[in-house]
Structure 1
Amino acid sequence: MIVVTAPTGNIGSRVLAEIADGSRPVRAIVRNPAKLPADLRERVEVHTGSHSDPEVLARAFDGADTVFWLVPPDRQAASADEAYSGFARPAVEAIRTHGVRRVVSVSALGRGTAVAEQAGHVTATLAMDDLISDTGVAFRALANPTFMDNLLRQTSVIKEQGMFYDVLPPDYAAPTVCTRDIAAVASRLLLDPSWTGREEVPVLGPEDLSPNQEAEIVSEVLGISVKYQQIPVSALGAQVRANGLSEAMAQSMMDMATAKLNHLDDGVVRTPQHAVETPTTFRQWCAEVLKPAVDKA
């Protein structure tokens, strides 16, 4: 039995669709079952509620051997640690109690780098990973860089102003990955009962690109001129506060951005295998995902 958490988000929804093929029984923990596609509701066992609720976890983890773990965003959390480890602690106890054998978690790059201890959301995510792996469960942490899909938050700005922005220098090449490739890696692991031990699985996408290179690709795919604008970390903080993040979570976002400026995502040496496992290029993603979203903006 495989349990999927956060099954209506960008990653979890794809994981659920990919593994609910009848080869293994699947359960989904979801707050609102109506958000699941009707065909999936018929193929999986649905448990209504939050995957931070001990009672929900007790029912969903009973008899389960594998769990896909993803923490939903908490914009108003009192701290990043509370948003991640605090949310996960009931699941940690349920893993022990119900004898779950394997957990695949959506995590982040940065472990072992000089800035990992002051990287906001990333630091909190890595601490949560440690809580889960300390149960003795076989554990795979999908160590992700920035998501390509984050650019979807700026579709209106791209369309109306011909620009997008971030904190990285224009010529700083870094890895990015799309959420569908993350889901594909997770699904392969969830359906494979042979792995043991603890490992991080770097999910890097097929190439490193700078923001200026991304702007060139976006311009070519959209057929309009799109420029990149670097903004200070303080401006990012002001924006996320205006969008409703608590002061603690806004500071955590700023700490993560500062860590990325200080090479948080540079600690893994890229190999050809990364492109095999996460093959979607930024250009392909722009054509298939970004362009339709900008057209509708």
Structure 2
Amino acid sequence: MFAILGAAGKVGRATVSTLRAAGRPVRAILRDPSKAAAFEALGCEVATADLHDADALARAFDGAAFVQVICPPAPRAGDAGAEMGRSIESIAKALTAVRPQATLAISDYGAEIESGTGITVLFHELEVQLRALPTEAIFLRSAEHMENWARVIRIAADSGRLPSLHHPLSKRFPTVSAPDVGRISAEILMQRQSGAATAGLFHVEGPERYTPADVAKALTTLLNREVVAFEVPRQAWHQTMLSAGLSDSGAGLVTELYDAHNRGLIDVEDGAGQVFHGTTDLVSAFQALLGRK
């Protein structure tokens, strides 16, 4: 049995779909029980659990040989770091109680760095806690998701200008489509089940790296209007994110993350772990966001 936490998210749903297409038994773990029917239609067992409820998580994990966990940041929370920290502690407590054969955690590029990387530091803590558990730990570090650009596509569509925290606009950065992360995670889990893979560290990014100018070019193609990327001035980042609804602590974590990105720190760890490449390019990812085929 494969238990997939966060099954309703883009990553989790792709993992579930890939496993079920291969005929593997899946328990989809949801926070919202109203979403259960879609997963039952795929032939999944369904469990519900909140990320902060260790007992409910343990019940959802119980009996599964392989567990996939994803712990999404909450940049709108009053204390974004503490919010994710509570989720990590609940997940770790539940895994300690159940002791599955192996746990695969979706982590982040740069998670090997102990400080100074904003949101990514939270994934460092996730890895530290899971490495200490009495279960095999597999970490799939993901590049930045292409879908994150959804937050500013409307701005680009309305104004023809694409705001970017990636500086300079000519610098290539690693990125990946979230469903590719879920698909590759499922493949790693199945390889682990068959004994063809071992626990350890993996990375996943897209078929190529892109610049913010490439992002603008992809949107120009899809929106039928010229889109030009521009650098959001560093001094305006915090207030811009507050205006977008992030908390003060969340805006601080994102600011620190992009400072680290722009220093080249958020990347594949040198000499550590295989790198997988997804197949979804920017145009295809944005077509899905815009509801186009």
Q: For 2:50, what is the secondary structure of its paired residue?
A: coil
Quick one: distance in 2 between partners of 1:219 and 1:176?
19
Contact 2:68–2:104, Cα closer than 8 Å, also in 1: yes
Deviation at 1:140, TM superposition (A): 2.1
Contact 2:58–2:95, Cα closer than 8 Å, also in 1: no
What is the one-letter code of the residue matched to 2:20?
A: A
Structure 1 residues 117-126 or 239-248, which shifts more?
A: 239-248
Residues 1:57 and 1:285: Cα distance change in structure 2 (over 3 Å):
closer
Aligned twin of 1:209: 210
**What do residues 177-199 of structure 1 show as CA deviations (whole Å, max 9, x unaligned)?**
11111111111122231233332
Structure 1 residues 166-175 or 31-40, which shifts more?
A: 31-40
Q: Which structure 2 segments of 5+ residues have no match?
A: none
Aligned twin of 1:196: 198
Aligned twin of 2:51: 51
Q: For 1:209, what is the secondary structure of its paired residue?
A: coil
Quick one: distance in 1 between partners of 2:67 and 2:15?
11
1:1-297 paired onto structure 2 within 5 Å: 1-21=1-21, 23-38=23-38, 40=40, 43-74=43-74, 75-80=76-81, 82-112=82-112, 117-168=115-166, 169-192=168-191, 193=193, 194=195, 195-199=197-201, 201-268=202-269, 277-286=277-286, 288-292=287-291
Q: For 2:18, what is the secondary structure of its paired residue?
A: helix
Contact 2:20–2:42, Cα closer than 8 Å, also in 1: no
Quick one: distance in 1 between partners of 2:22 and 2:112?
39
Q: Percent identity, please.
A: 23
TM-score by length of 2: 0.87
Q: For 1:29, what is the secondary structure of its paired residue?
A: strand
Deviation at 1:157, TM superposition (A): 1.0
What is the one-letter code of the residue matched to 1:176?
A: T
Deviation at 1:77, TM superposition (A): 4.5
Q: For 1:118, what is the secondary structure of its paired residue?
A: coil
Deviation at 1:290, TM superposition (A): 4.3
Deviation at 1:42, TM superposition (A): 6.2
**What number of residue pairs does the alignment pair up?**
286
Q: For 2:51, what is the secondary structure of its paired residue?
A: coil
Deviation at 1:228, TM superposition (A): 0.2
Moved over 6 A (4+): none
What is the one-letter code of the residue matched to 2:176?
A: V
